[in-house]
Structure 1
């Protein structure tokens, strides 16, 4: 497996579930009316022509240090018990960043200037699903690379979830050059562009993919939690 990689993701390579967009908009368990469906589809078409999702990753050796920490190189990550347990059996840890790009942010700012808040709401929901679709593509690609070396991968986990403090974004970004793939980390550890995702994945012959611990982690804004609440 390559120890480092960066690549663009073609929109056609992404698997996007429109029901997830509707769910983030508040349509739980049913499709909205024709007018809203048309607006969402039009938004999807516009955004697909505006953005180019990008990904970068590093594959690093490390080890579990205690019940809630990982030692990766000179960096001690403290993702908590849930994530540390999910990292068991790893030979490597894939640290990754994914973004749909600043073009999305600029487009949303223009919609706000036009005071078109319904369009802003739709764009935000679609952007969240698009970012998760880009992560899913990265995971599929990582799984394929791991399989070529007869290894498995875990689920992906991000700072801010499952008791992993958001401030540890600084440590995650420390594995990359400044502003990797155009992502800037603010002083409050939020990422810009806003539809960006960071995280870690365990890779190894003894890795077992664990179910997401949504019965323990009740973060209401987590898209994975929303999927499992259906």
Structure 2
């Protein structure tokens, strides 16, 4: 399947949610400024997604081959045991919002702009999930992200981008020499149908992680037989 680009994503920033995330009450002196920032961001934001419906061509003990590209990960391999197809993707808040955020210089407004970009990224990802469900009936699915586990390191990012083609040309996202993405508020991964639940966090023993979505499960982690 050719790459699909979603670049007409509705973007309505929930100001009450933004207030809660920033911990700003109605009496705050900066409330007007934050409302202006949110309005500007909503006007300029152009979040984007690129993905494809890819076929699994081969499976080894600790790798899978997807549309001719080899991904090395024991966890990914185990999770794809029953899968025949997957949906590699990159989702971004967009270069437009990234450029907008560069005007801010003080710590507080930088943090506000960063929070707004994070919210827009989440909205784009939710749109992507709903799109996959509608187009492919992919209701119950999970995803894995390069760099989220030591078993699937961040340098595997380059293979994901190779699988999707010229991501920079398609949606403006590029990889740095250290395999991080620009704009920073972008996420990449492989989404696939899977019975039960899975979160990368369940296999990660790192403590005090601000992004943790689930508790570390030692027994569950050992079931993957990661060497």
Structures share a fold, TM > 0.5? yes
Bin for the TM-score computed over the shorter chain: 0.7 to 0.9
* CA displacement at 1:45 relative to structure 2: 2.0
Q: Separation in 2 of the partners of 1:99 and 1:52?
A: 9
Whether the 8 Å contact between 2:57 and 2:68 is mirrored in structure 1 is no
Match of 1:65 among 59, 63, 66: 59
Whether the 8 Å contact between 1:80 and 1:162 is mirrored in structure 2 is no
What is the match of residue 87 of structure 2? 94
1:19-168 aligned within 5 A:
19=17, 22-23=20-21, 31-34=23-26, 35=28, 40-62=34-56, 65-81=59-75, 83-112=76-105, 116-147=106-137, 152-163=139-150, 164-168=152-156
* CA displacement at 1:183 relative to structure 2: 1.2
3-state SS of 1:155 partner: strand
Q: Separation in 1 of the partners of 2:192 and 2:13?
A: 23
Larger RCO, structures 1/2 (Cα 8 Å, 6+ apart)? 1
Change (3 A) 1:124 1:64: farther
The number of residues matched between the two structures is 208
3-state SS of 1:208 partner: coil
Whether the 8 Å contact between 1:153 and 1:201 is mirrored in structure 2 is no
Q: Separation in 1 of the partners of 2:180 and 2:130?
A: 26
- For each residue in 1:32-86, what CA deviation from the matched residue of structure 2 results, as whole angstroms up to 9, or x when unmatched? 42226665444322211111111111111105634542211321112442x4433
Structure 2: gaps spanning 5 or more residues: 216-227
- For each residue in 1:170-199, what CA deviation from the matched residue of structure 2 results, as whole angstroms up to 9, or x when unmatched? 000101332231111111111112211111
- Which aligned segments of 4 or more residues in structure 1 are displaced greater than 6 angstroms? none
Q: In terms of Rg, which structure is larger?
A: 2
* CA displacement at 1:125 relative to structure 2: 1.7
> Please, what TM-score do these two structures have when normalized by structure 2?
0.77
3-state SS of 1:137 partner: helix
Whether the 8 Å contact between 1:16 and 1:130 is mirrored in structure 2 is no
3-state SS of 2:203 partner: coil
> Please, what TM-score do these two structures have when normalized by structure 1?
0.76
3-state SS of 1:136 partner: helix
What is the match of residue 28 of structure 1? none
Q: Separation in 2 of the partners of 1:22 and 1:67?
A: 46
Aligned CA-pair RMSD: 2.9
What is the match of residue 170 of structure 1? 158
